[in-house]
Amino acid sequence: MTQPYRVTQPFRLPRGGQIDRGRILRFSFDGRAYEGHPGDTLASALLANGVRLVARSFKYHRPRGIFTAGPEEPSALVQLETGGFTEPNRRATDIALYDGLRAASQHAWPRLENDLGALIGGVAPLFPAGFYYKTFIRPRGLWRYLWEPALRHMAGLGQAPASRDPSRYDQRHTHCDVLVIGAGPAGLPAALAAGRSGARVILADSDPLFGGALLRGAYRIGEEDGTAWAAEAVTELAAMPEVRLLPATTVLGRYDDNYFVAAERVGDLLGPAAPAGLPRLRLWHIRARQIVLAAGALERPLVFPGNDRPGVMLASAVESYIRHYAVLPGRRAVVFADNDDAYRTAATLTETGAEIAAIVDPRDKPGLATQQIVRAIPLYTGCMVVGTGGHKALRRVTIRPIAGNGSDTIIDCDLLAVSGGWNPTLHLYAQAQGRTRFDEGIAAFVPDGEVAGVEVIGAARGSFALSQCLADGAAAGARAASCGFASAEISEPPIVPDEEIGPNRLSLLPLPQGGRHAFVDLHNDVTAADIALAAREGFIASEHVKRYTTLGMGTDQGKTGNVAGLALLATMTGRDIGETAPTTFRPPYVPVAFGLLAGRARGRLAEPVRVTPMHEWHIAAGAVFEDVGQWKRARYYPRPEEDMMAAVRRECLAARDGVALLDASTLGKIEVAGPDAGRFLDRIYINRWQNLGVGHCRYGVMCREDGMVFDDGVGARLAPDRFFLTTTTGNAAAVFDWLEEWLQTEWPELDVFCTSVTEEWANATLVGWAARDVLALLAPGLALDSAAFPHMTMREADIGGIPARIFRVSFSGELSYEINVPADQGLELWERLIAVGEPFGITPYGTEAMHVMRAEKGYIIIGQETDGSVTPVDVGFGALVARDKDCLGRRSLARSDTVRLDRKQLVGLLPDNPGEVLPEGAQLVAVLGEVPLVMPGPHPGMIGHVTSSYFGARIGRGFALAMVQNGRTRHGERVWAPLPDRTIAARICPPVFYDPEGARRDG
Amino acid sequence: MLLIPCPWCGPRNEAEFHYGGEAHIARPPHPDALDDPAWADYLFMRSNPKGPFAERWVHSAGCRRWFHVVRDTATHRILAVYKIGDPPPGITNLRGAGA
């Protein structure tokens, strides 16, 4: 059976365009198959196939089509691809067509052509701008049960991906002398001039094809047409070794000192089938000495009722589709414009064989330049379009004289080309702190003043003539390049025919029905009536109107709608548009994928992983790890069939009743050396160091100047001018920075230097009554009895050839030796300890058991019992504060707030039910039952919170440490921890639960 | 992303540095002699001018040395860089402890 004859691409023009007609690309939209060519965008290919309806609007679900031909598109947002690769809210005008592309419409149910959401359009008067603010007010209950769920369901446009993004994203950093942004009639000459001087140049344009406005107009430059001239310029630039060309690259934002971030589409241009090694997108970080901003201008529409119907399109977009993509957007067109420039669109359409049914111009007399064009075309001056007809595609327009002295005319058409003038694209300039002013001549905001390092040229500064762009570009490029190079020659610009650019104006057309269906912001469905409503309700600052109406808050950032909205606001509030400042332009210029900003730093590569020398052993032993900062620490070592509780219980009992081994290598370690070392440490810590004997250890606490505990750790004196400090694992870097800051900025006269040695030493901590026996086997020459090697001293030893420093320090409360060896011998030491300890039942234990045992002894952990608001006195270290010397934070301990009697103090808690374990962080109350809240502030019944809570294996019950107001005076009192499902009763007690005299430790 | 000229390493990206707040806040030599308001002034009160401001930075990811910068807080332009211990340059409108 033969295939039925099917005309593909009925709106493709037979000649012209920058597309490759030799190749066919197949793609689908909403499940229907179509064909296009390389060089198309999804938008141009859809138009070529006669597809007009592509989307439903954000709020009212109105049928929408393709409005522009560039990244400023507010309506034609589609869902690109599916699965992990999918991207919502992609502008169809911004998607390079590739073979196999699949896209779908968004925000319509059950299908684009028949969207139930359109029913909302019928009740639109109930949903003006700002309506949902009012739902917060009255009636209250309705918000929770009706509005919130309904709005949540209706909100948004596309679908976020539900599975992992398989794409790769790269980042590159580079410098250049001249960054040229925009490769059009101003940017190309600038890049050429700068490049020819030998400067390092980067030329970026968001389109895959350089040429800018040259691609959509029939320009002649010298002997050739504009597109050929552009192609030659690109060829010359590509051959320059110091020039980098970045097509399909959008500059997203400008930061201090000409630092730019730009997104380059790489694999994105080829879709999911791109070669595996290609990044989907590449993020460029560019530091430029000078920039030439040639970003052009964006056409602005006119505001009139029905201006959002599919088939209404910007005049320059019509030209772009015809000349750049060889696509006819419609067969019978009306042109509605208030400037001479747009009349060219009528001429372009006529050349293609399309019919121009009318030109409608709100001005009474169009400019002289238009007379050539309009000879054969019906011209309606002093008129405006007051309505468009045809539900899902334009079928007719209604025209009415503005002065109100005539009747309406209805004209059949399928394309309405609209133009209200041009807005220079100044986002990056504004981010460089450039100011703008409203230029009456072109009725647009233009740069005002100079910004160092930034030059704005071409249409971006309001120069719309081709000859001007070419000349400005060449001059600016040469100027920018001279920032370090011999003054570049300014070559003669090519000859360009004279052109007449008529003045522009910002038309504010009278709006029937108060502007109800006259859309200002197509993306967010903001109408002129909404702006009027905002003005009536007292919102007159542009920043307020923006947020009240959501004008300019869509993914397009209001590129086509903002200026018209501002103009309307100005008129409605009786001001000049120059007085209403445009709202802030914030990066990024277009939406950016999170993956691009993350680059390669995802998953396993998101953060560096730090491991100890014994790491592989812990893995082989089946350890479960926890993250402590960037470190992986063994948390517990479960045997088969053991859960965490059982493993931790076993490990604690082994340490208390036998012998056990902890990897404590992650502790911060700092050597402080020099004649002034002791004096320096006395200023930093609350306790004394100068009087510490060589070979002795001491527990130290340091505070910040506000008196709050910062860090703690045991230090030792290695020599008269050398100390070895330890810090908590998490604060190692912070303490090291702290020491350096004080030495460099406040006490440079001290003769001290500090060295971080955290990673130089491995630490195997041997714990338990049998620790001595194990150590004796390993270091037979070392006297280990308490007289020769007392608690809180340090000895050096040789452990079978491994040089070791052994600190007799206990965090567990048992007899304990912290054996430090050079890091690269840490694993060897560990394995030897395990082997020698085996007959004694040596048991590796992890951080969980470590936490339980120290809590049984009442030892605090920085960041658990302390939180930056806790002084040494609060946690019971008042006696450690040396009375006869100043130190950081000492004065603050005498502030009225730190001597308050009702400060929270460290206590212990014993739940009434010994099997109960209080949740850490549980709030504690002194009074059970309803306590009326009389004033803002701390609840009168709330007196503290639980900081650490465990089940103690040796003591056989639940216990906790807590911070409680006046805690030290409350021993014996009862408190309660109210939880969502139950209330736990407990008694306050001293914060030590095991061996308070320290006999086990000192044995 | 400021470009900060480290006196030892040259101009480097802001991300390599750590900010240290207002410069020239000397630690009082006799803290016990100060009453609570005066001590609080040293601890908590800092200038916040619009315009040139003397501040401290440390090149954390580089030479790890502290130095001074005079930066215009409104435009972010860096007006001067000088080492710890050197006096602040004579810049008009410089406010705060460095003035």
Cα–Cα distances in angstroms (integers) from residue A598 to residues A168, A601, A605, B61, in the given order: 10, 6, 10, 21
User: How many other CB atoms sit within 10 Å of the CB of residue A128?
Assistant: 17
With 0-12 / 13-18 / 19 or more C-beta atoms within 10 angstroms meaning exposed / middle / buried, residue A43 is: buried
In this complex, is the C-beta atom of B82 within 8 Å of any C-beta atom belonging to chain A? no
A657 closest CA partner among A770, A777, A755, A512: A770
Angle formed by the axes of helices A343-352 and A315-323, nearest 10°? 30
Angle formed by the axes of helices A677-684 and A732-745, nearest 10°? 110
DSSP state, residue A305: B
In this complex, is the C-beta atom of A746 within 8 Å of any C-beta atom belonging to chain B? yes
- Closest partner residue to A256 (CB to CB) among B1, B26, B31 is B1
- From chain B, the residues in CB contact with A744 under 8 A are 65-66, 84
* C-alpha triplet A979, A982, A987: angle, nearest 5°: 80
Distance separating alpha carbons of residues A886 and A688, to the nearest angstrom? 10
- From chain B, the residues in CB contact with A706 under 8 A are 43
- From chain A, the residues in CB contact with B3 under 8 A are 256-257, 259, 287
Over chain B, what HEC string results?
Answer: CCEEEECCCEEEEHHHCEEEEECCCCCCCCHHHCCHHHHHHHHHCCCCCCCEEEEEEECCCCCCCEEEEEEECCCCCEEEEEECCCCCCCCCCCECCCC
3-state secondary structure of A291: strand
Q: Is the dihedral of CA A311, A316, A317, A318 positive or negative?
A: positive
A207 closest CA partner among A324, A98, A55: A324
Residue ranges, chain A, pLDDT below 70 = 1-6, 120-122, 124-129, 132, 368-369, 373-374, 484-490, 929-940
pLDDT, residue A486, reads 59
pLDDT, residue B7, reads 97
pLDDT, residue A843, reads 98
User: How many other CB atoms sit within 10 Å of the CB of residue A934?
Assistant: 7
- From chain A, the residues in CB contact with B60 under 8 A are 737
3-state secondary structure of A775: helix
Token pair belonging to A89 = 């809210």
3-state secondary structure of A84: helix
Angle formed by the axes of helices A528-536 and A542-549, nearest 10°? 120
Q: What are phi and psi of A319, to 5 degrees?
A: -65, -40
pLDDT, residue B88, reads 86
Asked whether the beta carbons of A338 and A419 are under 8 A apart, the reply is yes
In this complex, is the C-beta atom of A886 within 8 Å of any C-beta atom belonging to chain B? yes
Token pair belonging to A232 = 């030659």
pLDDT, residue A935, reads 47
Q: How far is CA A31 from the centre of its chain?
A: 34
Q: How far is CA A283 from the centre of its chain?
A: 13
Q: For chain B, what is the radius of gyration of the CA atoms?
A: 14
Token pair belonging to A308 = 């959002």
- Closest partner residue to B36 (CB to CB) among A287, A433, A895 is A895
Asked whether the beta carbons of A71 and A295 are under 8 A apart, the reply is no
Task: Say if the Cβ atoms of B66 and A705 lie within 8 Å.
Answer: no
Give contacts of B 31-60 with A, CB under 8 A: 31-32, 34, 36, 39-40, 43, 56, 58, 60
Distance separating alpha carbons of residues A876 and A309, to the nearest angstrom? 75
Distance separating alpha carbons of residues A817 and A767, to the nearest angstrom? 7
Q: What's the gap in Å between the CA of A129 and the closest CA on chain B?
A: 35
pLDDT, residue A489, reads 65
Asked whether the beta carbons of A626 and A633 are under 8 A apart, the reply is yes
Mean pLDDT of B33-52: 95
Query: Which one-letter amino acid corresponds to residue A136?
Result: F
pLDDT, residue A6, reads 54
pLDDT, residue A1, reads 44
* CA neighbours closer than 13 Å in the CB half-sphere of residue A213: 23
Q: How far is CA A703 from the centre of its chain?
A: 35
Q: What is the DSSP string of A917-937?
A: -PPTT-EEESS-S-----SSS
pLDDT, residue A528, reads 94
Distance separating alpha carbons of residues A977 and A926, to the nearest angstrom? 9
A560 closest CA partner among A569, A551, A547: A551
Q: Are strands A32-36 and A816-822 parallel, antiparallel or unpaired?
A: unpaired
Q: What's the gap in Å between the CA of B85 and the closest CA on chain A?
A: 8
- From chain A, the residues in CB contact with B40 under 8 A are 895
Of A433, A750, A891, which to mutate for an interface test with B (greatest number of B Cβ within 10 Å)? Answer: A891
In this complex, is the C-beta atom of A450 within 8 Å of any C-beta atom belonging to chain B? no
Task: Say if the Cβ atoms of B1 and A891 lie within 8 Å.
Answer: no
Q: Look up the pTM and report it.
A: 0.90
